[in-house]
Amino acid sequence: MDTGKPISIDIFGENLNRMTDVIEDMKKIMTDTEGVAKPTDDAATSQPTLEWRIDRARAGMFGLDQNTVASILQLAVGGIRSGTFGHGDDEQDILFRMPEWHRTTTGQLENVTVPTPTGGFVPITSLAIAELVPGPVSIKHFDRKRVLNAGAEVQPWVRADADVRARFQEKVGFYTFPPGISYRFGGAAEEEQESTAFLMKAFVIAVFIICIVLVLQFNSVMLPAIVMVSVVLSLIGVLAGLLVFDLPFGIIMSGIGVISLAGVVVNNAIVLLDAIRQIQQRGVKVYDAVITAGMIRFRPVLLTAITTILGLVPMAFKFSIDFANFSYQYNTETAQYWQSMAVVIIFGLLIATLLTLGVVPTLYVVYDRYKGWLSRTFNWANGQ
């Protein structure tokens, strides 16, 4: 999907002259920003256009509205279709309008008068102001506002588009926009914001559903908390992996990797905690149950991590393997796109495996030792 240019800003307003000036300033800021290449805009102009601005309040004083004044200007300049002549392909429109010498001269247009409901006439110059503005090739609108766009690419040697985009946005923050002119960052920045919002919602929903399932399975609130601690601590591996490979935290692929990692970590923790509780039900003390469960579940947890990591290693090193033709490619655009997700899962899973086999049993022993005290404290707090 086309997300627009990496660096992009939309300028909104009604005054095309001011908007064009601001667009030129934005391009200068882009040029002065390190890492930006090829600033462009869509403010290409054709011949100058005479633009009339109607004073609605003053027109209302004479009992006129904007549509009435605009229709008189349309009659004077563009003309009104009053009929046709000819037949078939030779049919031509009959336009009722002023002579060409009158409608192409600004001074003559200022002599146009507008009839009022009371039977009088008001000069057009008393109701509207004419201004010569650059005539755009195409007029774009967004949310009923005129919009012009300036955009730029990022230098090929720049690995993190977000860093360049942040520098540009910071410089724009110090720019003083004229009255009536507003802006927003578009292109890849807009897509990044939407992706961030979506992934944050997805992560919150995933964690909430996991917690609900854990509470129902263990019939406890503290045990799901132990599992979620291991999920949070696995982010240490995520950040370490990105640092080792010198990769930025990509909102889309890194975010998907974190959500996928949470599922694997939770699964391993559930397997271990369930084994501990089953052994405890046989009358075994908590410390012995933790040791036994760790020995029993060590191989499944380790094999799960190893197989997942080995499967993602080629992707982490930007190899694309074609098993059908027994060939591979290195450092393709697709491989670069997926590398961040693979690194996040690999390093996150390495740390999470150590946490599952070390931190989770330790936290369970602490929980089992103090659960009686926690229960009494909770009951006392509720007046029981």
Same domain assignment for residues 111 and 156: no
**Lowest-confidence segment of 211-215, 234-238, 277-281 by average pLDDT:** 211-215
What band does 187 get if pLDDT is binned at 50, 70 and 90?
A: confident
φ/ψ of residue 80, rounded to 5: -120, 130
Q: Are residues 98 and 205 in the same domain?
A: no
The pLDDT score that the predictor gives to residue 380 is 45
Contacts 24+ apart (CB under 8 A), 359-363: 359/229, 359/230, 359/233, 360/226, 360/227, 360/230, 360/269, 360/272, 360/273, 361/272, 361/276, 361/290, 361/293, 361/294, 363/226, 363/229
pLDDT at 326: 76
Examine residue 2 and state whether it is found in any structural domain, yes or no. Answer: no
Mean pLDDT of 184-200: 76
User: Per-residue confidence at 345, pLDDT binned at 50, 70, 90?
Assistant: very high
| Residue whose tokens read 């998907």 | 256
Q: Which of 264, 258, 247, 237 is nearest to 318 (CA)?
A: 247
Q: How far apart are CA 267 and CA 257, in angstroms?
A: 16
- Identify the residue whose tokens are 């009358």: 283
Q: Please say if the pLDDT value at position 105 is more than 70.
A: no
> In one letter, which amino acid is 139?
I
CA 362/CA 360 separation, integer angstroms: 5
The answer to whether 263 and 349 are in contact (CB under 8 A) is no
Mean pLDDT of 335-354: 87
The Cα 48–Cα 134 span in angstroms is 4
Please indicate, yes or no, if residue 63 is contained in any of the structural domains: yes
Closest CA to 185 of 168, 200, 199, 197: 168
Give the separation between CA 131 and CA 376, rounded to whole angstroms: 81
Query: Tell me, what's the pLDDT at 28?
Result: 92
Q: Which whole number is the average pLDDT over 71-97?
A: 72
Query: Both 226 and 320 in a single domain?
Result: yes
In a domain, 383, yes or no: no
For the segment 228-252, the average pLDDT, to the nearest whole number, is 84
The pLDDT value recorded for residue 374 is 58
Check residue 41 and give its pLDDT.
84
Arithmetic mean of pLDDT, 196-213: 82
Buried b (16+ CB within 10 A) or exposed e, 278-291: ebbeeebebeebbe
- CATH number for the domain harbouring residue 178: 3.30.70.1320
Is pLDDT at 313 greater than 80 in this prediction?
yes
Q: For residue range 126-160, what is the model confidence (pLDDT) as tens digits?
A: 888 777 666 555 667 777 788 888 888 888 777 66
> What are the structure tokens assigned to 30, written together?
């882009």
What count of other Cβ atoms lies within 10 Å of the Cβ of residue 56?
A: 12
Strands 182-185 and 7-13, bridge-based pairing: antiparallel
CATH of the domain at 116: 3.30.2090.10
Least-confidence region, from 64-68, 86-90, 176-180: 86-90
Average pLDDT, the chain: 80
Q: How confident is the model at residue 102 (pLDDT cuts 50, 70, 90)?
A: low
Domain that holds residue 371: 196-378
116: DSSP letter: -
DSSP SS3 for 326 = coil
Range among 27-31, 188-192, 319-323 with highest mean pLDDT value: 27-31
Same domain, 149 and 216: no
252 and 203 in contact (C-beta within 8 Å)?
no
The answer to whether residue 264 sits within a structural domain is: yes
Percentage of the chain surpassing pLDDT 90? Answer: 5
Total structural domains in the chain? 3
Please give the pLDDT value at position 377.
58
- pLDDT in the model for residue 26: 92
Same domain, 274 and 297: yes
Give the amino acid at 378.
Answer: F
Residues 212, 78: one domain? Answer: no
Query: What is the pLDDT at residue 155?
Result: 81
Q: Are 291 and 297 in contact (CB under 8 A)?
A: no
In a domain, 210, yes or no: yes
| 68 vs 193, more confident | 68
> pTM for the whole thing?
0.56
Domain contains 368:
yes
Same domain, 25 and 81: no
Count Cβ atoms below 10 Å from residue 296 Cβ, excluding itself: 15
- Tens of pLDDT, residue by residue over 37-67, are 888 887 655 556 667 788 888 888 888 888 8
Average pLDDT over residues 307-332: 82
Contacts of 309 (CB under 8 A, 6+ apart): 345, 346, 349, 350
